[in-house]
Structure 1
């Protein structure tokens, strides 16, 4: 139990004891006040504390968001059983042990049944409030989580858009077409190969642009094709070395990340026959490295770093591992995390999200309505029982509203958590699956 909850129970005990002492105690002396305070502490800490611990335990074992129906049934059953036992325990301590107004035989003979029942209703009210509070807190957490997921979806969509803009680099297309134009006259056969390689490049871009992760093997095949185009364009001014372990081939990386990094190597470094640019793609532990010797090209406009930030953003959506960038006087290196399994990503389909949101919203309203009904039932019925026992102790008319409304609450519970539209839909799906 948290410190804040203990302090709350303490002040509740003090407030209740002072109310009972000044309103119902005839002999107002220190001894009676201490007795009242002790009894109030017993009821508050035993009933309130136990129900709070029960709610906390159920929140950890069976969260509302993961198993709403199961949690509701277990909560209802557990609070009835727990409060029944706790109320009898507290009343026994109060009337038999502390006040000594009854013997053990008299207490369990039925003399205190109405008082026990009334106290159980009050305890159920407290417990229902705690569980409803826990449900609302869980609902807030889920809502916050959905907001975070929506932000991630928006961030992912923006990252994919930026990625596409970088992947279809107009400068690369312009330079490639110039090379192709010169090859058509000089070497038609090489021009055909160059055209086929360009076709593979853009086919891969279109195929992979909507994916979150691809195998290292597919990304390497694409990178080699891309390097062939660059090799045709720059001839012996650039050199590409691939040294990736075969055990990494079935692992995953962000698609088109190698293309962005290779394009950066060409864009930001000069390459000549006398001073060739060497680019290495190799394995380094659980990372895929792209390293080039540093031959910085003088640029009028400073680099915006969109390519690297794009890769970092897309990796941040898939893993907690970081993209590392190393720069020295001699080389520039980027380490891409290699993922052992294909990551689970959030669906970015707006229609599916909207339907799921509406369905969840409807479900929350149903559960909220049931708990409002349950709390109202506990409050009103407890008040009716109190009025009946105080005014007419022999004529017990409170049974009629208690039983009548109780049947309504029970049917409401079955509709929301068991025998309702969700149950019917589940059965329909089961029958359809069997017929298939």
Structure 2
């Protein structure tokens, strides 16, 4: 227990001592004050530390954020059983041991039943406040933690994406300048033509570098210009074939993905007039494929690994669909997912998360309402009992609101923590899983 908690209980003991000594004691002497202080301290510390220990134990074993339903049920059970035992212990010490106003037989008879019941309700009020306070604090910490985590994830993903995109400019420029430098000596006219094509390509790079996705049509047009550039250098050593269906042109792919894959084809394979490198770009269902015949060249220096890994990482930040790589003795193929959604609607998770957030918000509101109602019950019912007993009437009418309100609270607790919408959701998920498994079995 924290030291602050003990100080609070000490001040509570002193406050209740002064209250009962000044307003409920006819004798105003030191002995009476010390007896009142002893009793107040005993009730405050036994009930306070007892309930505090239960609350801390449940916080460690069943945190609100991880097991809300289980924790709520255990809290209700522990509140009732724990306070029943603690109150009976304190009252026994008060009336039988300290003040000696009752025998053991009298204490466990109906004579003290109403007193014990009244004290249990007071203790329930204090304990319910502690558990509700713990729930609110845990909810606030969890909400703040989730907000911070989501911000860090968003910043990390954005930084990672920007880092991946920034790899493209120097990578493309370096390779293009290498090609241009070799052409200047071999064929100056081709070098001029290459420079013109390179300016068009680099303009596209600058236009698309800040976009997450581009249309397949734009990427194909860009790839054709880049293939012309490669054709300028390699002439008959490289052949290209574009076989992409027109209906796929409005889909989306990661920008510059074809250019990086075309570079990989040239870099990792040798190409000659007698053994030309055949590069085919085509659509296959909802994927855009680039395939080449395998003519592996010996690598003089280790590859930078920017090309394919860059594409895979950028796709992983945008969609759950994977980039597939196929390799055999005769060919190498890469399949890029073509996305039918626009860039700002690629990921449906935010929408699902928003719905889940609204549902969670509604549930938290219901739980808060339940605890507010429970606290009100623990305040008002003991007050009604006090008024009923102080008026001296033999008709114990306080039982009617106590039982009626208590039944309503019990049903509300069952609806929130046991048999409400959560049960329906669980049943719906169970039926959907069964249907999904049945469908998978028929495939």
The correspondence of residues 183-198 of structure 1 with structure 2, limited to 5 A, is 184=231, 187-188=234-235
Superposed displacement of residue 167, structure 1? 2.6
The correspondence of residues 117-196 of structure 1 with structure 2, limited to 5 A, is 117-169=117-169, 171-180=170-179, 182=183, 184=231, 187-188=234-235
Shift in CA distance, 186/424, structure 1 to aligned 2, threshold 3 Å: closer
Judge conservation of contact 1:125–1:378 (CA < 8 Å) in 2: yes
Match of 2:97 in 1: 97
Match of 2:111 in 1: 111
Shift in CA distance, 206/79, structure 1 to aligned 2, threshold 3 Å: farther
TM-score (norm 1): 0.65
Superposed displacement of residue 353, structure 1? 2.2
Superposed displacement of residue 354, structure 1? 1.3
TM-score (norm 2): 0.64
**Structure 1, unaligned stretches of length 5 or more?**
194-202, 208-221, 233-237, 243-253, 260-313, 315-346
Q: Distance in 1 between matches of 2:312 and 2:265?
A: 9
Shift in CA distance, 101/422, structure 1 to aligned 2, threshold 3 Å: same
Superposed displacement of residue 428, structure 1? 2.4
Secondary structure of the corresponding residue to residue 74 of structure 1: helix
The correspondence of residues 229-244 of structure 1 with structure 2, limited to 5 A, is 240-241=301-302
Superposed displacement of residue 178, structure 1? 4.6
Answering whether residue 86 of structure 2 is matched by residue 86 of structure 1, we say yes
Q: Distance in 2 between matches of 1:241 and 1:177?
A: 19
Judge conservation of contact 1:180–1:191 (CA < 8 Å) in 2: no
Structure with bigger RCO (C-alpha 8 Å, 6+ apart): 1
Superposed displacement of residue 100, structure 1? 0.4
Answering whether residue 110 of structure 2 is matched by residue 49 of structure 1, we say no
Q: Distance in 2 between matches of 1:120 and 1:184?
A: 90
- Give a deviation string over 1:253-305, Cα, whole Å, max 9, x none: x954999xxxxxxxxxxxxxxxxxxxxxxxxxxxxxxxxxxxxxxxxxxxxxx
- Give a deviation string over 1:214-256, Cα, whole Å, max 9, x none: xxxxxxxx9x959948x99xxxxx96358xxxxxxxxxxx954
CA RMSD of aligned residues (A): 3.6
Q: Distance in 1 between matches of 2:80 and 2:239?
A: 80
Shift in CA distance, 50/82, structure 1 to aligned 2, threshold 3 Å: same
Q: Distance in 1 between matches of 2:153 and 2:173?
A: 33
Shift in CA distance, 206/172, structure 1 to aligned 2, threshold 3 Å: closer
Q: Distance in 2 between matches of 1:375 and 1:206?
A: 62
Judge conservation of contact 2:12–2:44 (CA < 8 Å) in 1: yes
- Give a deviation string over 1:18-44, Cα, whole Å, max 9, x none: 110111111111111111000001100
Q: Distance in 1 between matches of 2:26 and 2:143?
A: 52
Match of 1:296 in 2: none
Judge conservation of contact 2:87–2:119 (CA < 8 Å) in 1: yes
Q: Distance in 1 between matches of 2:44 and 2:265?
A: 73
Q: Distance in 2 between matches of 1:95 and 1:410?
A: 33
Superposed displacement of residue 98, structure 1? 0.2
Shift in CA distance, 28/173, structure 1 to aligned 2, threshold 3 Å: same
Secondary structure of the corresponding residue to residue 418 of structure 1: helix
Shift in CA distance, 185/139, structure 1 to aligned 2, threshold 3 Å: closer
Match of 2:5 in 1: 5
Secondary structure of the corresponding residue to residue 410 of structure 2: helix
Judge conservation of contact 2:164–2:310 (CA < 8 Å) in 1: no
Match of 1:434 in 2: 434
Match of 1:310 in 2: none
Answering whether residue 100 of structure 2 is matched by residue 39 of structure 1, we say no
Secondary structure of the corresponding residue to residue 118 of structure 1: helix
For structure 1, which segment, 91-100 or 48-57, has the greater mean C-alpha deviation from structure 2 after superposition?
48-57
Q: Distance in 1 between matches of 2:302 and 2:432?
A: 56
Secondary structure of the corresponding residue to residue 414 of structure 1: helix
**Structure 2, unaligned stretches of length 5 or more?**
184-229, 241-252, 272-298, 318-346, 439-443
Judge conservation of contact 2:13–2:44 (CA < 8 Å) in 1: yes
- Give a deviation string over 1:358-409, Cα, whole Å, max 9, x none: 1211111010011011111111101001111111252211001101111111
